[in-house]
C-alpha cells in the first residue's frame, strides 16, 4: 500500500512538472510574462516534491514499510484511553461540553426541546410517535 501511494505521489509530481514546462514554454512569448513565472514556480515545486518523495521513499524502504501490502503499526494501548484523562473522562463520553440530552438524570423535561410546550411538541409528531 505504501509503495502504491509513493507511486501516486511521484506521478502527481511528474504531472506538475509537465504542466510547469508547458507554462514555461507558453510564457516565452512576449505577451505572457506572468505565465513564465507560474511555470517556473511549478517546475521548482515539482522538482522539490519529487526529491522529497524520493528521499522518504528510500527511508520507508529501509524501515521495511514496503515489505508488506499493508502498513505495520504497533497495537494501540487501550488502557491509556480508558483511564483517567482519556476518552472516558471529559472527552468523547462526557465532561465539559457534554450535551444535556445525554444526562443520566434527564427526565421528562428533556423529552422535548426547551421552551416548547407539550402540546406544541406533540403537534408535529404523527399519531402516537411522540417520544416519552
**Taking all residues of the chain, what is their mean pLDDT, rounded to a whole number?**
75
What's residue 31's pLDDT?
A: 80
Task: Give mean pLDDT, residues 19-25.
Answer: 92
CB neighbour list of residue 78: distance below 8 Å, 6 or more residues apart:
none
What's residue 76's pLDDT?
A: 67
Task: Give mean pLDDT, residues 66-80.
Answer: 69
| Long-range residue pairs from 58-63, CB within 8 A, at least 24 positions apart, any chain | 60/2, 60/6
Evaluate if residue 4 carries a pLDDT over 70. yes
Evaluate if residue 98 carries a pLDDT over 50. no
**Domain edges within the chain:** 2-63
Percent above pLDDT 70 for the chain: 58
Q: Could you give the CA distance from residue 31 to residue 53 in angstroms, rounded to a whole number?
A: 35
Contact predicate 95/88, CB 8 Å = no
Q: Could you give the CA distance from residue 4 to residue 66 in angstroms, rounded to a whole number?
A: 9
Q: What is the pTM of this model?
A: 0.51
Amino acid at each position: 500500500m505504501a509503495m502504491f501511494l509513493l507511486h501516486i505521489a511521484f506521478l502527481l509530481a511528474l504531472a506538475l512538472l509537465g504542466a510547469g514546462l508547458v507554462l514555461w514554454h507558453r510564457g516565452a512569448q512576449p505577451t505572457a510574462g506572468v505565465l513564465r513565472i507560474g511555470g517556473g514556480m511549478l517546475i521548482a515545486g515539482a522538482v522539490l516534491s519529487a526529491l522529497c518523495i524520493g528521499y522518504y521513499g528510500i527511508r520507508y524502504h529501509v524501515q521495511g514499510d514496503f515489505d508488506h501490502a499493508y502498513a505495520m503499526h504497533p497495537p494501540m494501548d487501550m488502557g491509556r484511553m480508558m483511564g483517567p484523562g482519556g476518552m472516558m473522562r471529559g472527552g468523547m463520553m462526557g465532561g465539559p461540553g457534554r450535551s444535556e440530552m445525554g444526562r443520566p438524570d434527564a427526565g421528562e423535561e428533556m423529552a422535548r426541546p426547551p421552551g416548547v410546550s407539550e402540546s406544541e411538541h406533540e403537534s408535529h409528531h404523527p399519531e402516537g410517535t411522540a417520544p416519552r
